[in-house]
Amino acid sequence: MIITILQILFVLAWIVLISYLAIRMKGQKEIVPLPDNYWEWLHDYVKFYRQLDESSQKRFEKRVEDFLSATRITGVNAEVEDLDRLLIAAAAIIPVFNIQDWQYINLKEVLLYPGAFNTDFDQQGYDRPVAGMVGTGALQFAMILTKWQLRQGFLSEQDTRNTAIHEFVHLIDKMDGTMDGVPEIILERKYVNTWRNLMDTTIARMKREGSDIDMYGATSPVEFFAVISEYFFERPDRLKANHPDLFAILQRIYKTGDTG
Ligand SMILES: [Zn+2]
């Protein structure tokens, strides 16, 4: 009789221990699963994803999942919905999709504001007032986006704007230590001067004649690189037709197409 009770207790204790370990291991893995309707949302909102073939779409989904597992997304007076998380991750992955083993080591957290955010922060690093910013100083490893601009960037497929992509391009530019419009980390050395000259001449022409490129890009090479990258990913067809030289070098930077 005694033995039977001990046996039952032993079995119970074993079950408790196994359950505990299972829960613990699950917690440690920290893989953030994609939301249930991610496929539908990526199709509906992310043109870049829609145009990929099936195996590339799978690769894109995996990169999105990895990004979300590595990056905290925090709402500041804004509710972070699954769709917001998915769009932020899509904007992060689009520019680096063809770059092997890319990780945003200079980003830990994305802060999501509802609309216009107030200027309690250092003014430096702001984009087109209230659209977004990459952190400096205390916000070194953070990026600020606004929910409204984030969604707008993906909803309007006919324009050349996407604020979230713009901010991630700044992070790519910043990765080599300097934010100067030249992403040395992904642009082969032999093309650096060509790129610099092309930026300078285009900015000068924009100032002289105006342009179909967002004029915010003429404020500095840093902004030019971010603005022209938005154009490249939002309307590649139009950029290729209107600015073939810029299109060609952006293909080299982002390793798209087969320019060799
Ligand atoms: Zn900017």
Which amino acid appears at position 13 of this protein? A
Q: Which two tokens stand for residue 153?
A: 């960037």
Task: Give the closest residue to 218 by CA, choosing from 239, 203, 201.
Answer: 203
Residue 14 Cα to ligand 1 middle (Å): 57
Residue 54 Cα to ligand 1 middle (Å): 33
Predicted confidence pLDDT, tens digits, the chain (260 residues)? 556 777 777 777 776 666 665 555 544 447 778 888 899 999 999 999 999 999 999 999 999 999 999 999 999 989 999 999 999 999 999 999 999 889 999 899 999 998 765 555 544 455 665 567 887 666 778 999 999 999 999 998 889 999 999 999 999 999 998 899 999 999 999 999 999 999 999 999 999 999 999 999 999 999 999 999 999 999 999 999 999 999 999 999 999 976 44
Domains and CATH numbers, the chain: 38-254 (1.10.472.150)
pLDDT of residue 21: 58
pLDDT of residue 2: 59
Residue 142 Cα to ligand 1 middle (Å): 14
Residue 254 Cα to ligand 1 middle (Å): 18
φ, ψ for residue 206, nearest 5 deg: -60, -45
Q: Residues 139, 121: contact at Cβ < 8 Å?
A: yes
Residue 200 Cα to ligand 1 middle (Å): 17
Question: What is the rounded distance in angstroms from the CA atom of residue 95 to the CA atom of residue 63?
Answer: 12
pLDDT of residue 103: 93
Residue 217 Cα to ligand 1 middle (Å): 8
- Return the ∠ at Cα 189 (arms to 52 and 234), rounded to 5°: 30
pLDDT of residue 27: 47
User: β-strands 142-146, 132-134: how paired?
Assistant: antiparallel
- Residues near 221 by beta carbon (within 8 Å), at least 6 away in sequence: 180, 181, 182, 196, 199, 200, 203
pLDDT of residue 122: 45
Question: What is the rounded distance in angstroms from the CA atom of residue 12 to the CA atom of residue 150?
Answer: 51
Q: Residues 145, 114: contact at Cβ < 8 Å?
A: no
Residue 82 Cα to ligand 1 middle (Å): 25
Radius of gyration of the CA atoms of the chain, in A: 23
pLDDT of residue 128: 62
> Tokens 């600020």 correspond to what residue?
144
pTM equals: 0.84
Question: What is the rounded distance in angstroms from the CA atom of residue 119 to the CA atom of residue 113?
Answer: 12
Residue 165 Cα to ligand 1 middle (Å): 10
Residue 199 Cα to ligand 1 middle (Å): 15
